[in-house]
């Protein structure tokens, strides 16, 4: 049996998230179906992150076993040919079986895109959140920088059962490119909904609904009930996984 | 009766083109329905260009009469609130009734986007054409520059009945930004399918299927049967109309 690793890009709009669920289209389901069609074996894949419904990926990482006999390049092309247009393998390589996309990952980077102007942009809405009100980027960056380091993010995300709510954040900053704003956040891992909830919290700070002190108090309280709701999934992109 | 002019952005993917057709969603139909809902009058709009099925617009221009009594800003907001998310008015102003979006236009600019790399990008496919093969941008720009000026484009587009096939092209060039290539073309007007057909012709030159001389011979022949097929609509954007 050989073992393969791939980087996957997808438009998550029309999928019910990454993880297989019966009766609805999922990224995992589409990938497993495509690989099975090409290799004629039933295949289970593992992935670096289980993105939620509507979340996109530029650099999801998956792995799967296969008894494929021929060239890796040929397997890549064949899988891409049968995948839906909204999903594509960007690369494919043979790896050791000890490689695990989730457990071997050291850093995960997400990016959340805002489009800031009075009127919505239909050509950007699929991949970013429209923000028609003014934002104080300095206040947002103050909050963004404050979460770098090791923190307990119990307020801002949902652990799977028994999971710690402590994460180490390596990068957390807002970048502005004209009307497009990007929140870049890299950590050793994220709780479920954590990035989108942090985005709303920072939008609350940027719009004056919260003071930076309110954010700090919510973070320190480790109380999920103090959390703002998660921002819409359309702006969120799983950007890069580092091993 | 007042008369209004608006700039319109839209994602054309899910519409059967601009012009109203019975029984299918069109940009014009959605705009007229939204305006009628807000103003409670049946409204007919005119537009600078009738984009084909699947073609997008960043700067379509429309005009319509209305007996709307209140503020223009309020009308803009109300129309955007009832329009589908895929369409938005970027601005709205009151103009003289002599203004006609099509006949008053002096220049129209279209842009056609390519995404050039081996593997398709699901996050770019909606708004650009994926080109997995190598292209010679110098040869493409040679051809692009050669159509600047007054030419008979009978080979490359479909005139409406009685319409001349002569157009004056002001700008025609390829720009490269990493994997993203853009064909920028501005003229006093375009024949139906002309931009997309010119794009395919230039892709043929860029990939070596045609020599630049083959392009020149096809242009000079004024023979529609020598035309390549139009490139997919997904890459085409009505960018700007100048009055």
DSSP A174-202: EEEETTEEEEEEEES---BTHHHHHHHHH
Q: Are B90 and A122 an interchain contact pair (Cβ–Cβ within 8 Å)?
A: no
Q: What is the pLDDT of residue B160?
A: 87
Question: If we measure between CA atoms, which residue out of A38, A60, A175 comes closest to residue A110?
Answer: A60
Instruction: Assess whether A170 and A65 both reside in one domain.
Output: no
Instruction: Assess whether B134 and B202 both reside in one domain.
Output: yes
For residue B89, what is the nearest residue in chain A, using CA coordinates? Answer: A119
Kindly state the helix (H) or strand (E) to which residue A227 belongs, with its residue range. Answer: none
Band the pLDDT of B162: cuts 50, 70, 90. confident
Q: Are A85 and B122 an interchain contact pair (Cβ–Cβ within 8 Å)?
A: yes
Of A89, A125, A127, the CB nearest to B85: A125
* SS3 track for A215-234: HHHHHHHCCHHHCCCCCCHH
Enter the ipTM. 0.92
Q: Are A9 and B126 an interchain contact pair (Cβ–Cβ within 8 Å)?
A: no
Asked, for residue B144, whether it belongs to a domain, the answer is yes
Instruction: Assess whether A43 and A155 both reside in one domain.
Output: no
**CATH, residue A192:** 3.30.70.660
Q: What is the pLDDT of residue B157?
A: 96
Instruction: Assess whether B136 and B39 both reside in one domain.
Output: no
| Mean pLDDT, all residues of chain B | 97
Contact assessment for residue A167 and residue A151, using Cβ atoms and an 8 Å cutoff: yes
Q: What is the pLDDT of residue A243?
A: 97
Domain containing B28: what range?
A: 2-94
Nearest-Cα distance to chain B for A57, in Å, is 8
Interface test with A, best of B7, B78, B117, B122 (most A CBs within 10 A): B122
Per annotation, catalytic residue among B11, B14, B52, B214? B52
Question: If we measure between CA atoms, which residue out of A87, A93, A39, A38 comes closest to residue A63?
Answer: A93
Contacts of A40 (CB under 8 A, 6+ apart): none
Asked, for residue B100, whether it belongs to a domain, the answer is no
Asked, for residue A78, whether it belongs to a domain, the answer is yes
Instruction: Assess whether A196 and A154 both reside in one domain.
Output: yes
Interface test with B, best of A13, A122, A128, A179 (most B CBs within 10 A): A122
* Count of CB pairs separated by less than 8 Å, A with B: 59
Q: Is B88 at the interface with chain A, CB within 8 A?
A: yes
Asked, for residue A101, whether it belongs to a domain, the answer is no
**What's the pTM value of the predicted model, to 2 decimals?**
0.94
**CATH, residue A29:** 3.30.70.580
In whole angstroms, what is the distance from residue B43 CA to residue B26 CA? 15
Q: What is the pLDDT of residue A50?
A: 93
Asked, for residue A99, whether it belongs to a domain, the answer is no
Instruction: Assess whether A117 and A212 both reside in one domain.
Output: yes
Instruction: Assess whether B63 and B174 both reside in one domain.
Output: no
Domain tally, chain A: 2
Token representation of residue B149: 């000026």
Contact assessment for residue A241 and residue A59, using Cβ atoms and an 8 Å cutoff: yes
Q: Is B13 at the interface with chain A, CB within 8 A?
A: no
Instruction: Assess whether A117 and A84 both reside in one domain.
Output: no
Of A123, A127, A237, the CB nearest to B56: A123
| Domain-ending residue, one of B94, B128, B159 | B94
Instruction: Assess whether A88 and A115 both reside in one domain.
Output: no
Q: φ, ψ for residue A219 (rounded to 5)?
A: -60, -45
Instruction: Assess whether B118 and B201 both reside in one domain.
Output: yes
Q: Verify whether residue B14 is a known catalytic residue.
A: no
Instruction: Assess whether A217 and A113 both reside in one domain.
Output: yes
In whole angstroms, what is the distance from residue A153 CA to residue A219 CA? 7
Instruction: Assess whether A190 and A122 both reside in one domain.
Output: yes
Q: Which residues of A touch B10 (CB under 8 A)?
A: 122-123
Tens-binned pLDDT, residue by residue, of chain A (243 aa)? 999 999 999 999 999 999 999 999 999 999 999 999 999 999 999 999 999 999 999 999 999 999 999 999 999 999 999 999 999 999 999 999 999 999 999 999 999 999 999 999 999 999 999 999 999 999 999 999 999 999 999 999 999 888 999 999 999 999 999 999 999 999 999 999 999 999 999 999 999 999 999 999 999 999 999 999 999 999 999 999 999
For residue B122, what is the nearest residue in chain A, using CA coordinates? Answer: A86
Q: What is the mean pLDDT of residues B206-233?
A: 97
Q: What is the pLDDT of residues B18-76, one digit of tens each?
A: 999 999 999 999 999 999 999 999 999 999 999 999 999 999 999 999 999 999 999 99
For residue B239, what is the nearest residue in chain A, using CA coordinates? Answer: A123
Contact assessment for residue A53 and residue A12, using Cβ atoms and an 8 Å cutoff: yes
Q: How is residue B31 annotated by DSSP?
A: H
Q: Is B125 at the interface with chain A, CB within 8 A?
A: yes
In whole angstroms, what is the distance from residue B119 CA to residue B125 CA? 11
Q: What is the pLDDT of residue B146?
A: 98
Asked, for residue B201, whether it belongs to a domain, the answer is yes
Q: What is the pLDDT of residues B118-143, one digit of tens each?
A: 999 999 999 999 999 999 999 999 99
């Amino acid at each position: 049996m050989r073992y393969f690793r791939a980087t996957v890009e997808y438009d998550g709009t029309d999928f019910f998230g990454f993880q297989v669920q019966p009766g609805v289209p999922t990224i995992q389901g589409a990938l497993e179906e495509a690989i099975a069609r090409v290799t004629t074996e039933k295949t289970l894949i593992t992935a670096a992150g289980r993105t939620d419904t509507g979340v996109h990926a530029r650099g999801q990482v998956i792995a799967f076993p296969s008894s494929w006999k021929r060239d890796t390049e040929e397997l890549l092309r064949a899988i891409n040919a049968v995948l839906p247009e909204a999903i594509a393998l960007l690369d494919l390589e043979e790896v050791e079986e000890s490689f695990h996309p989730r457990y071997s990952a050291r850093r995960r980077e997400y990016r959340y895109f805002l489009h800031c102007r009075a009127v919505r942009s239909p050509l950007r809405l699929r991949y970013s959140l429209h923000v028609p009100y003014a934002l104080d980027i300095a206040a947002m960056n103050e909050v963004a920088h404050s979460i770098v380091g090791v923190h307990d993010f119990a307020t801002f995300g949902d652990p799977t059962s028994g999971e710690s709510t402590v994460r180490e954040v390596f990068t957390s900053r807002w970048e502005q490119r004209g009307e497009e704003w990007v929140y870049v956040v890299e950590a050793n891992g994220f709780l479920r909904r954590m990035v989108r909830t942090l985005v709303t919290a920072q939008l609350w700070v940027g719009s004056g609904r919260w003071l930076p002190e309110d954010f700090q108090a919510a973070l320190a309280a480790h109380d999920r009930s103090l959390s703002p709701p998660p921002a819409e999934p359309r702006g969120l992109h799983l950007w890069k996984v580092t091993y």
